[in-house]
Amino acid sequence: MNVALVERAEEAIRRFGLLGGGESLLVGVSGGQDSIALFDVLRQLAPTMRLQLAVAHVHHGLRGGEADQDERLVRRLAEAADVPFRCRRLDVPAVARAAGHSFEEAGRQARYEFFELVRQELGADAVALGHTASDRAETLLMNLLRGAGPDGLGGIPPKRGCIVRPLILATRQETLAHCRKEGLEFRVDRTNLEPHHLRNKVRLELLPLLEREYVRGAAEHITRAAELAHDEAQLLQELAAKTLKETTAESGSGCIRLDINALKVLPEALLRRTLREAIRVTSGDVRDLRYNHVRDLVRLIKQGRTGARVVLPGAVVVERGYGEVTIGWSRAQPPSVGEVSVTLPVPGQVALVRLGIRVRGDVRDVEEEGEAVAGGKWQATLDAGAAGDALVVRNWRPGDRFRPLGLGGEKKLQDFFVDAKVPRAERSRVAIVARRDGRIIWIVGHRLDDRAKVSPATRRVLVLTASRR
């Protein structure tokens, strides 16, 4: 047993409350040194902590034969440990093009979606990933260069939802030492050694320069700063949620009205955070909210005239009234999009400009047990035969009905929207994938139709992936 790395993991587990003992853990293993070391450490801790392990691996469709070798290594690792193994093969370049993202971002999103799918399938309590203190320091520097706020300066958190990172206090040098001491085989992704992307530049050039020319132990100091920033950002977030509740004059479906006078007296840092929280509650997402958007909102609160408004990403409208500010659709309904209907070629993709969404369809054979299951919010995997080969992407029509997965019966789509708390103004903007005969197979971002679900008899699956334009 390599005491150093195991003790690092035990310290992180205690300090951040990552595990309590007795959990079922899905371990994301890429085949690189960090994830291989993580699985070995958890395997060593399993008897005393009563952990049950499983392994998940994502083949990104990049690096050709080298990626195939990664998959074979991880499969052998799981088989040798006699733990469940799940793998998904993706065409990351295609996903990236469809979503308008970089390969790195598309791959990251696809990994997290797959891990959550498998976690639910296996009934695992958490997903363990091999991020280290080195990753956390790199992320802080990257986000600092991009002008991030407290959330970004927190870098990679030790725990977020069902994701836990037991090696977050260990360095990449320590995971390498562990692999060498224990004689563990691991793979080297050569693309990580090429300084073409920001993360690689930070890893290969900036951090070594800081260590060599400025401060010895710079990575450790940066990691400590990330931990402090993360803790204080969490506190500020809790305070913002409390403040939002106190300043809310009225809330309804897809709309919040806030007391302007109560907002004006807030410290600006708390005001910014409270407005972000109000946008998150209203739209469900603040990923596209930038510094200039929040700056405009602050100006609207402090200096804006009655009737002034700010339009944010996602068509969220913030409008100033006499003594209140309204966030949502109540004062500025989005224009009707009318009827939208576009044929979806499979394989292929379509962009629905008026709905602000892209949808891609791909068909593949079922290769891995447990692979063909319902996807996350923006991805769904269906029985290709049940879905059919002639598909249409459209919006809601009066009288639409479908059979929500797991419900056991038919339901009006209008009633489903009400139960799902989809604001009336947004319902015509929800994309629907249907067969040519009219049968709905997926309410994008919400639910599959039960008749299109994957079954033990499924031989080919249809993978539908949606993304905001």
Going across the sheet that includes 357-365, the strands are 348-352, 357-365, 460-468, 379-383
Q: In which residue are the tokens 């890429």 written?
A: 30
pLDDT of residue 336: 54
Which residues belong to CATH 3.50.40.10 in the chain? 341-468
Superfamily the domain 3-223 falls into: HUPs (3.40.50.620)
- In 73-158, the DSSP E strands lie at 85-89, 126-128
pTM to 2 decimal places = 0.65
Token readout for 278 is: 């109000």
pLDDT of residue 371: 40
Q: Give how far Cα 423 sits from Cα of 85, 220, 254, 255, 286, Å.
A: 40, 47, 5, 9, 18
pLDDT digits (tens, 9 = 90+) for 312-333: 876 788 888 888 888 875 344 4
pLDDT of residue 180: 94
Which residues belong to CATH 3.30.465.60 in the chain? 253-328
CA–centroid distance for 187 within its chain? 25
According to CATH, the topology of domain 341-468 is Phenylalanyl-tRNA Synthetase; Chain B, domain 3 (3.50.40)
The b-or-e profile of 13-51 (16+ CB within 10 A means b, else e) is beebebbeeebebbbbbbbbbbbbbbbbbbebbeeebeb
Tell me what percent of the chain is helix, strand and coil, each rounded to the nearest 5. Answer: 45, 20, 30
**Cβ(318)–Cβ(283) under 8 Å?**
no
Which residues belong to CATH 3.40.50.620 in the chain? 3-223
Whether the bond into 404 is cis, omega within 30 of 0: no
Helix (H, G, I), strand (E, B) or coil at 390: coil
According to CATH, the topology of domain 253-328 is 3.30.465
- In 99-201, the DSSP E strands lie at 126-128, 159-160, 163-164
**Cβ(393)–Cβ(344) under 8 Å?**
yes
In angstroms, the CA 171 to CA 90 distance is 29
**Residue 396 DSSP code:** -
Token readout for 283 is: 């739209």
Per-residue pLDDT of the chain in tens (469 residues, 90 and over written 9): 455 999 999 999 999 999 999 999 999 999 999 999 999 999 999 999 999 999 999 887 667 778 889 899 999 999 999 999 999 887 767 666 655 566 677 777 778 878 887 887 888 999 999 999 999 999 999 988 888 888 888 888 899 888 999 999 999 999 999 999 999 999 887 777 777 788 889 888 998 999 899 988 888 889 889 889 988 988 999 999 999 989 888 765 557 889 999 999 999 999 999 998 888 877 666 777 888 998 999 999 998 888 888 888 767 888 888 888 888 753 444 545 667 788 888 887 887 766 777 888 888 887 543 343 444 578 888 888 888 767 889 988 888 999 888 776 888 888 888 887 776 767 887 899 998 888 899 999 888 888 888 888 888 888 898 876 5
pLDDT of residue 369: 36
